[in-house]
Chain A
Amino acid sequence: MSASLTGTPADVHTLSGVAAVTPRKNATIWSRFRKHKLALIGMIVLLTMGLIAIAAPLLAPHSPNAVSLANYREAPTSTYLLGTDAQGRDVLSRLMYAARISLSVGIVAVSLYVVIGTTLGGLAGYFGGWVDGIVMRIADMVLSFPSIIVIITIVSILGPSITNVMLVIGLLGWPPIARLVRGEFLTLRERDFVIASRATGARDRRIIFRHVLPNATTPVIVNATFGMAQAILLEAGLSFLGLGVQPPTASWGNMLNGAQSITTLEQMPWLWLPPGIAIVIAVLAINFVGDGFRDALDPRSHK
């Protein structure tokens, strides 16, 4: 995700030695990642879910929004493998389409705060002084926000929608990334290779993109992976409360919304069990992948 941040025009003049190191480094990371069995399983599960989400229009047995009042709340049958909901829509098809929404909320929201966090953290770390002071005080403030309460307040004001959920998570999630990136900048600023680069007349931009940011990507990737799991859980919670993705668009969270009624909960488990299980599998897979990244990318944690 943050690869796009490092791939700038400044990279055109790459030293051949540096270019040769990269594939070998990647190979080491991959071989370490592969040893983490759960992370590997998580990665496979996640890719499968992603493929199902992308291919939903081809795979779904029915249209996710086709209302059929003749077969509403029908228990699973051979036509409707996971039954139908209160409007007679096919639960399995909705589940597949919901994967698109829920996974993309995770990706977009986290990408948004990685960009904001990297930019602000980079500015704070590189320039220091009052820029640093202001950015970090704002970060402290955002971190002390009573997050869920603030999020439901903002979402209700902006109007509940998928865009607003992504936006709110994105705008409130950046402080940890900013802190990480700032920390990297502060330590790297004084390192020999950065000083050497500056001595050879490299500009700020080149130093930032060529030397400092690539070093900050490791903690950012790990943090962003766990953040994606968090974002999916948050979207599910908001949609469950009716403050997130709005029907008829299906998201895993709003498919669970109906289970707030005791009748649905008790007599129609096919309506709420599948989306709940889908969330658990997706989030668990992402957390395992994040754990794998942490082990593979951080040599210190690798014993």
Chain B
Amino acid sequence: MGRFLLRRLLVSIPVLLGITVAMYIIVNLAPGDPVTALMNPEQMANMGPDWVEQQRESLGLNDPLPVRYAKWLKETATGNLGYSFVDRLPVNEKIGERIWPTVKLMLTVLVIAVVVGIPLGIISALKQYSFIDYLLTILGFLTVSIPSFFLALMLIYVFSLKLDWLPTSGMYTVGQARSFTDSLTHMILPATVLGLAQAAPIIRYTRASLLETIKQDYVTVARAKGLAEAGVIVHALRNALIPIITIIALNIPQLLGGTVIIEQVFSWPGMGNLAIASVQGRDYNVLMGINLIAAIMILTSNLLADAIYALVDPRIKYA
């Protein structure tokens, strides 16, 4: 078990390095110059090209690409992601304060997705080919076919603008003491939009997995021995839910991607919001940092999926 995870971890490292190399090259191919992008053109004309050159030198932009990458990697390995080109704040700090809002949103979404998805998946399987099964299948198609931002706009329209029940944006009400209810009301809309999209695959896989498990011999045996139907289902469920854990973990990258647009729509102060602001400001260091953190999150969730699967299913051989 330990060896299996260690090997998976060791395979992830070159993948992560490869991602950083690719991202570093892409980000540095950008035509915009962070120095000139920052400056007021009039002021720059007064300062002259020498000053611009000096700024470039001090930001280390004149070194050849591999040298800059090596420097970046060395600094990154020691936990320093550099400084923002825009406001000169440490990237660690800028991203650091954005991670928790994103993680908080993602965790809430996962809880919603599991709480909604698993029971509905079970109902769908138990009532296979019934009206509710078809309805859930069609709703499942609908939730994966609707752009998250469009669903978000419709929910804001109904619940914030027309009914005035929920706030349109942000994480807290500005100028008000932070309270649990306040943060909860801000969380409901963004978490629901993402939660519905995440629940759809959970419903589908729970249904398929339970239908598959119910056919197994040991379930038939349980039934033949006179176990009540509810008991039979609980018996089958323990094994049926194992693959669902993997589905949840494997969907995390997709969820992370979803937060980017949703954070923008709801002005949620997370990493996705920062990513879009950095794209607009050509803030390469911040973008590299966000890409790195996101890649680490994705690789970790893949690793987690393998680990949990191996842990709960003794049939997996970890050579």
A153 touching B141 in the complex, CB below 8 Å, given contacts A237-B149, A262-B168, A265-B153: no
Other-chain residue from A144, A148, A154, A287 in contact with B257 (beta carbon distance below 8 A): A148
- 8 CB contacts below 8 A, A to B, read A145-B22, A149-B294, A152-B276, A156-B30, A157-B30, A237-B147, A253-B147, A280-B146
Mark out the residues of chain B between 223 and 278 whose CB falls within 8 Å of any chain A CB in the assembled complex. 253, 256-258, 260-261, 264-265, 272, 275-276
CB contacts (< 8 Å) of A153 on chain B: these are: 23, 26-27, 275, 279, 287, 291
Q: Across the interface, do A157 and B26 meet the contact criterion of CB distance under 8 Å?
A: yes
Q: Across the interface, do B261 and A150 meet the contact criterion of CB distance under 8 Å?
A: no
CA distance A153 to B276 in the complex (A): 9
Q: Across the interface, do B157 and A269 meet the contact criterion of CB distance under 8 Å?
A: yes
How far, in Å, is B35 (CB) from chain A's closest CB?
Answer: 17
Q: Across the interface, do B257 and A146 meet the contact criterion of CB distance under 8 Å?
A: yes
Q: Across the interface, do B291 and A146 meet the contact criterion of CB distance under 8 Å?
A: yes
CA distance A233 to B279 in the complex (A): 20
B positions within 8 Å CB-CB of A: 14-16, 18-19, 22-23, 26-27, 29-31, 138, 141-142, 144-150, 153-154, 156-157, 161, 168, 253, 256-258, 260-261, 264-265, 272, 275-276, 279-280, 282, 287, 290-291, 294-295, 297-299, 302
How far, in Å, is A232 (CB) from chain B's closest CB?
Answer: 9
CA distance A224 to B9 in the complex (A): 32
Q: Across the interface, do A145 and B149 meet the contact criterion of CB distance under 8 Å?
A: no
Q: Across the interface, do A152 and B279 meet the contact criterion of CB distance under 8 Å?
A: yes
Give me 12 other A-B pairs in contact (C-beta within 8 A), A153-B279, A241-B261, A288-B141 excluded.
Answer: A38-B141, A144-B302, A148-B260, A149-B272, A240-B149, A253-B147, A256-B150, A256-B153, A265-B153, A272-B150, A272-B153, A280-B145
Q: Which residue of A lies closest to B30 (CB)?
A: A157
> In this assembly, does A229 line the interface, its C-beta being within 8 Å of a C-beta of chain B?
yes
Q: Across the interface, do B261 and A240 meet the contact criterion of CB distance under 8 Å?
A: yes
A152 touching B149 in the complex, CB below 8 Å, given contacts A157-B30, A266-B157, A287-B141: no
CA distance A240 to B150 in the complex (A): 10
A157 touching B265 in the complex, CB below 8 Å, given contacts A144-B299, A229-B145: no
Q: Across the interface, do A284 and B161 meet the contact criterion of CB distance under 8 Å?
A: no
How far, in Å, is B185 (CB) from chain A's closest CB?
Answer: 17
Q: Across the interface, do A144 and B145 meet the contact criterion of CB distance under 8 Å?
A: no
> In this assembly, does A276 line the interface, its C-beta being within 8 Å of a C-beta of chain B?
yes
CB contacts (< 8 Å) of B16 on chain A: these are: 144
CB contacts (< 8 Å) of A243 on chain B: these are: 279
CB contacts (< 8 Å) of A241 on chain B: these are: 261, 264, 276
How far, in Å, is B254 (CB) from chain A's closest CB?
Answer: 8
Q: Which residue of A lies closest to B134 (CB)?
A: A38
Q: Across the interface, do A147 and B257 meet the contact criterion of CB distance under 8 Å?
A: yes
CA distance A233 to B100 in the complex (A): 27
Q: Across the interface, do A276 and B147 meet the contact criterion of CB distance under 8 Å?
A: yes
> In this assembly, does A259 line the interface, its C-beta being within 8 Å of a C-beta of chain B?
yes
Mark out the residues of chain A between 147 and 202 whose CB falls within 8 Å of any chain B CB in the assembled complex. 147-150, 152-154, 156-157
> In this assembly, does A204 line the interface, its C-beta being within 8 Å of a C-beta of chain B?
no
A259 touching B153 in the complex, CB below 8 Å, given contacts A149-B275, A280-B146: yes
Q: Across the interface, do A265 and B157 meet the contact criterion of CB distance under 8 Å?
A: yes
* A241-262 to B contact mask, C-beta < 8 Å, 1/0: 1010000000001001001101
Q: Which residue of A lies closest to B292 (CB)?
A: A146
CA distance A243 to B278 in the complex (A): 13
CB contacts (< 8 Å) of A237 on chain B: these are: 147-149, 261
A positions within 8 Å CB-CB of B: 38, 137-138, 140-141, 144-150, 152-154, 156-157, 229, 233, 236-237, 240-241, 243, 253, 256, 259-260, 262, 265-266, 269, 272, 276, 279-280, 283-284, 287-288, 291
CB contacts (< 8 Å) of A145 on chain B: these are: 19, 22, 295, 298
CB contacts (< 8 Å) of A141 on chain B: these are: 15, 18-19, 22
Q: Across the interface, do B291 and A150 meet the contact criterion of CB distance under 8 Å?
A: yes
How far, in Å, is A287 (CB) from chain B's closest CB?
Answer: 5
CA distance A151 to B265 in the complex (A): 18
- Give 6 nearest A-B pairs by CB, closest first: A146-B294, A148-B257, A276-B150, A284-B145, A283-B145, A156-B279
CB contacts (< 8 Å) of B15 on chain A: these are: 137, 140-141, 144
Q: Across the interface, do A279 and B147 meet the contact criterion of CB distance under 8 Å?
A: yes
Q: Which residue of B lies closest to A240 (CB)?
A: B149
Q: Which residue of B lies closest to A233 (CB)?
A: B147
Q: Across the interface, do A262 and B161 meet the contact criterion of CB distance under 8 Å?
A: yes
CB contacts (< 8 Å) of B141 on chain A: these are: 38, 284, 287-288, 291
Q: Which residue of A lies closest to B256 (CB)?
A: A146
CB contacts (< 8 Å) of B290 on chain A: these are: 149
A138, A148, A253 — which one has the most chain B CB atoms within 10 A of its CB? Answer: A148
A149 touching B257 in the complex, CB below 8 Å, given contacts A280-B150, A284-B145: yes
How far, in Å, is A204 (CB) from chain B's closest CB?
Answer: 30
CA distance A3 to B155 in the complex (A): 42
CB contacts (< 8 Å) of A253 on chain B: these are: 147
CA distance A259 to B161 in the complex (A): 13
How far, in Å, is A240 (CB) from chain B's closest CB?
Answer: 5
Other-chain residue from B145, B154, B302 in contact with A287 (beta carbon distance below 8 A): B145
Q: Across the interface, do B298 and A146 meet the contact criterion of CB distance under 8 Å?
A: yes
Q: Across the interface, do A256 and B29 meet the contact criterion of CB distance under 8 Å?
A: no
CB contacts (< 8 Å) of B138 on chain A: these are: 38
CB contacts (< 8 Å) of B150 on chain A: these are: 236, 256, 272, 276, 279-280
Q: Across the interface, do A150 and B280 meet the contact criterion of CB distance under 8 Å?
A: no
How far, in Å, is A93 (CB) from chain B's closest CB?
Answer: 21
B29, B156, B257, B272 — which one has the most chain A CB atoms within 10 A of its CB? Answer: B257
